[in-house]
Structures are given as C-alpha cells and as structure tokens.
Amino acid sequence: MPAKVFTDKDADLKLLKKKTVAVIGFGSQGHAHALNLKESGIKVLIGLYPGSKSIAVAKKKGFKVVTTAEAVRKADVIFLSTPDLVIPQVYKKDVAPNLSKGKTLLFAHGFAIHYKTVKPPKNVNVIMVAPKGPGHIVRRQYLEGKGVPALIAVQQNPTGEAKAIALAWAKGIGAMRAGVLQTTFKEETETDLFGEQAVLCGGVTSLITAGYETLVQAGYQPEMAYFECLHELKLIVDLINEAGISGMRFSISETAKYGDVSRGPKIVDSRVRGAMKKMLKDVQSGKFAREWINEARTGKKRYHKLLKHGAKHPIEKVGLRLRGMMPWIGRKNTKGAQAAY
C-alpha cells in the first residue's frame, strides 16, 4: 500500500508558535532548520558549546546563542543537529541533566535512538524530522517558496502530541510544500545507511574512480576520463531526478541506451548484489554502527587515513583544473563552518 503523504493542510504551525524551540548545533541541517523555522514565525534559540566557530555565524544570522545546557532548559522542543557520534556526549553532558517531563527531543536521523547511543527518559517525546536532502538545499528550496520532502517518525509519545509537533516542524522548515511521509526510526536509519554505503556515496564514488582509472590505465587522457566518468554523471542524475530511470533513457542516444541496458548488469552482477546484501546485514545487525562508534572512540585514525588517501587521487587534481573552466559551477569553502558557505 502506498505511504500516506502529509501536506500543509495536515499540520498546524500554531502548535510550535506557542513553544520555544532550540537547535543544538549550527551545521548543514541545523542552520537550515533554524532559519526556516525563524522565518515561519517560530521562536528559535541556538545552543552551542563555548568557543564554537558557529557562534559568530549564528549571531550574524540574527539568532540568540546560548550554551547547550541553557538552550535545553529554556526550550520545549530540542533539535539535536550535531553529528551522530557527537550526540551521545552532548546528550550526557548538557541534555540529560536539563530535560524535564513533557519536553520533545527531535532528531534528523535515527542513528542515536535506533542504536541506543542515547536513551531518553520515558516522559519526553522522541521524534524525527528528516529532510531528504542536505541542509543547504533545504534552505535554498524554502527561500524559493518550495520544499524538500521529509520523513517523520515517532519513537515516544507521552504527551500525545508528538506526531503533531513533528508535522508542525516539517511545515515550519518547508517540507510540507513537497510532502512528508511517516516512517520509523529503524526503517529510516537502516535504509539511510545502506543507501549511503552501497549507492549514493560509497557505490558512486568507487564506480567513478574505478571508471576513471580504467580509462587512464588504458592510455586515455585524464581529462577525457574525468569528463566521461565524473562530470557527465550530474547530467544523467539530473535526468533521473526529473523523470526517473526510464525518463533518463528517453533523453539519451540509442547507443547510450543499449550500452546501459546490456552492459550495466555486467557491472552490478550477482557478486555485487551479494556484497550489497552483506552490507545491509551489517547495518541491520548493528555491526557497522559498532565499528563506526569504535572508530570514533579510538581517534578516527583509519577514517582520516582513508579520507586523506581519497583526497590525493589524481581525479581530484584533474577535476579542480577542469572545474576552473566552468564559471557556472559555484565555488564552495569546505574549510570553515558549514552554515557559512
């Protein structure tokens, strides 16, 4: 049965306008939710740790910035927008001691609740509002009078208004303009992690670099390999986003179409599908979560080593030079606070 789609008429912003909300963290999702809610008429506090580089950015955007502990004490709805593995320490130090009966904890991803890295008391609401897009797109779409679809979930509902709060929040950030679906913390977490690992991030980046390396090793110019295996990917993905896979095939040449349907399955063959199933099992069993949590506890040495290795790949140097020839591609500062670019 198709999932029910909630739209603007299903939510009442008055519910949030009677409350104070706190956004803990001011990164990609945090800054987007905070700005959109503020412009929807909601009273928003920003909670940050002393010395955070985001303090100046948040103040410049017109927010009152307080410590995380104070934000939790003052707010009725608390959005933990910090990274998954930062949430437990923030929760233990600043959130748990200041929670009181009837407050609402809100997450944009189910990791912390599903894998029990935090265990809220039973007398607080626990909900999720997860936009299906990065924070900067959530913000951009809101400003354009549009919205990014989102998921909502309710884990605990002692007050009886948890779902209504989730729907109101989704409306406040503009998600209802597109549509909102209800899920569970379990379903959102497991499908999100699998998608990131097998397709959207891990699968795609490995496919891109493997294709690039195959062409370069065969004697083709690196620039040609970059254009064919990375640059044009966005053009194809845009077509898929607009009209689905069949719609993309409608727009490409017959030669490309035949190569797609006859050769694609030879790349994603039974061995790859088996690896995907194993990856999903690791997510479902909690094996991946335990590995990632342990990696963080031991200083993220392997994580940083892998990132550093990826950044040194020749495709990055070639891409930097070729993107310099494309003035329509905006330049992003990826060194400072996420909310600043």
Residues annotated as part of the active site: 109
Give the Cα separation of 323 and 332 in Å (integer).
12
Residues 6+ apart with CB under 8 A from 133: 141, 148, 149
* Pair 26, 339: CB distance under 8 Å: yes
Give the Cα separation of 48 and 71 in Å (integer).
9
Residues 6+ apart with CB under 8 A from 315: 208, 209, 212, 222, 225, 226, 230
Rg (C-alpha) for the chain, rounded Å, is 22
Give the Cα separation of 94 and 78 in Å (integer).
12
To which H or E segment does residue 90 belong?
Answer: helix 87-90
* Pair 37, 173: CB distance under 8 Å: yes
Task: With CA atoms as reference, report the closest residue to 132 among 3, 248, 21.
Answer: 3
